[in-house]
Amino acid sequence: MQPLPHNARTAGIQEVYRRLAKYHGIPVVVASDRLHQLEDRLGLAPAAELLFDLTGNVYDPTTREWLGSLTEGGA
């Protein structure tokens, strides 16, 4: 298992959505759509267990591999 980046702090998805809206201007519905698109692209179930950092990066909880970002595409 690889470590998360030193500045990553894992958070629940609702906190991530809140921070993306507040600090990045990304509406909750956009961030949620991006998460579902990422899950679809990776062949994951909609309720797949994932790790999130406070800036919208998404990681595999087992391998800690970076899977994508909810900020990709901007606001």
First to last CA, the chain: 32
Q: Which domain holds residue 58?
A: 10-68
Beta-strand (E) ranges in the chain?
A: 10-11, 51-53, 57-59, 66-69
Task: Indicate the pTM of the whole model.
Answer: 0.85
Does residue 37 sit within a domain? yes
Does residue 58 sit within a domain? yes
Written as one letter, the residue type at 14 is Q
Extract the tokens encoding 1.
């298992």
Does residue 16 sit within a domain? yes
Model pLDDT for residues 22-34, shown as the tens digit of each residue: 999 999 999 999 9
Total number of domains in the chain: 1
CA nearest to 11, candidates 1, 23, 25, 41: 23
Model pLDDT for residues 33-74, shown as the tens digit of each residue: 999 999 999 999 888 889 898 889 999 888 889 999 999 888
Does residue 3 sit within a domain? no
Does residue 75 sit within a domain? no
Does residue 2 sit within a domain? no
Extract the tokens encoding 17.
């959505």
